[in-house]
Amino acid sequence: MLSCGGITQQFCVPEHIEMSMFTTEFLRHAGEHLRILDNDPPDIHFLPMGYMHLACTPEDAERMRNNWKLQVEKGARIAMLNHDELTAKFPFINFDDVILGTYGLENEGCIDAWQLLSAIREKNITLGVQYVKGEVEDNDPPDIHFLPMGYMHLACTPEDAERMRNNWKLQVEKGARIAMLNHDELTAKFPFINFDDVILGTYGLENEGCIDAWQLLSAIREKNITLGVQYVKGEVEGFLFERNHGMRELHGFEDDEVADEMKESHQRIRGVFVRPQMTDASARPIRTHFVVNAAGPWAGKIAEMAGIGKGKGLLAVKLPVEPRKRMVFMVYAPDVPPIDMPALVDPSGVYCLQEEAGNTFICGKLPTKEEDEKINHTNLEVDYDFFYERVWPILAKRVPAFKNIKIKNAWAGYEDVNTFDNSPIIGEHLLYTNMHIMCGFGNRGVQHALAAGRGFSERIFDGAYTSINMRKFDMRRLLKMEKLQETYG
Single-letter code of the amino acid located at 334: P
pLDDT at position 3 = 60
Q: Are 336 and 402 in contact (CB under 8 A)?
A: yes
**Lowest-confidence region among 132-136, 147-151, 160-164, 286-290:** 132-136
* Sign of the dihedral defined by the CA atoms of residues 88, 105, 49, 64, in that order: negative
What SS3 state is found at 228?
coil
Annotation: CATH topology of 232-243+261-320+420-480? FAD/NAD(P)-binding domain (3.50.50)
Over the stretch 37-93, which tens digit does the pLDDT of each residue have?
Answer: 778 888 888 888 899 999 999 999 999 999 999 999 999 999 999 999 999 999 999
Q: Tell me how far apart the alpha carbons of residues 451 and 67 are, in angstroms, rounded to a whole number.
A: 58
- The domain locations on the chain are 6-127, 232-243+261-320+420-480
The pLDDT-based confidence of 339 (bands split at 50, 70, 90) is: confident
Q: Are 71 and 27 in contact (CB under 8 A)?
A: no
Q: Are 291 and 436 in contact (CB under 8 A)?
A: yes
pLDDT tops 80 at residue 137: no
Q: Tell me how far apart the alpha carbons of residues 489 and 165 are, in angstroms, rounded to a whole number.
A: 9
Annotation: CATH topology of 6-127? D-Amino Acid Oxidase; Chain A, domain 2 (3.30.9)
Q: Are 465 and 458 in contact (CB under 8 A)?
A: yes
Over the stretch 219-252, which tens digit does the pLDDT of each residue have?
Answer: 999 899 888 888 888 999 999 998 765 555 544 4
**Between 4 and 233, residue with greater pLDDT:** 233
Strand order in the sheet with 267-276: 234-243, 267-276, 284-287
pLDDT at position 338 = 86
Rounded to an integer, the average pLDDT of 273-295 is 88
pLDDT at position 1 = 43
Q: Are 66 and 80 in contact (CB under 8 A)?
A: no
Q: Tell me how far apart the alpha carbons of residues 170 and 199 are, in angstroms, rounded to a whole number.
A: 20
Q: Tell me how far apart the alpha carbons of residues 432 and 294 are, in angstroms, rounded to a whole number.
A: 15
Q: Identify the DSSP state of 280.
A: T
Task: State the average pLDDT for the chain.
Answer: 89
Give the predicted TM-score (pTM) of the model. 0.69
Q: Residue 353 is inside which H or E element, if any? A: strand 350-354
pLDDT at position 245 = 58
pLDDT at position 254 = 52
Closest CA to 155 of 442, 489, 416: 489
Q: Are 343 and 151 in contact (CB under 8 A)?
A: yes
Rounded to an integer, the average pLDDT of 315-321 is 95
| CA angle (90 as vertex; 53, 52 as ends), nearest 5 | 15
Q: Are 455 and 463 in contact (CB under 8 A)?
A: no
Q: What is the largest CA-CA distance in the chain?
A: 112
What SS3 state is found at 131?
coil
Q: Identify the DSSP state of 69.
A: H
Q: Could you tell me what percent of the chain has a pLDDT over 70?
A: 94
Q: Tell me how far apart the alpha carbons of residues 338 and 353 are, in angstroms, rounded to a whole number.
A: 10
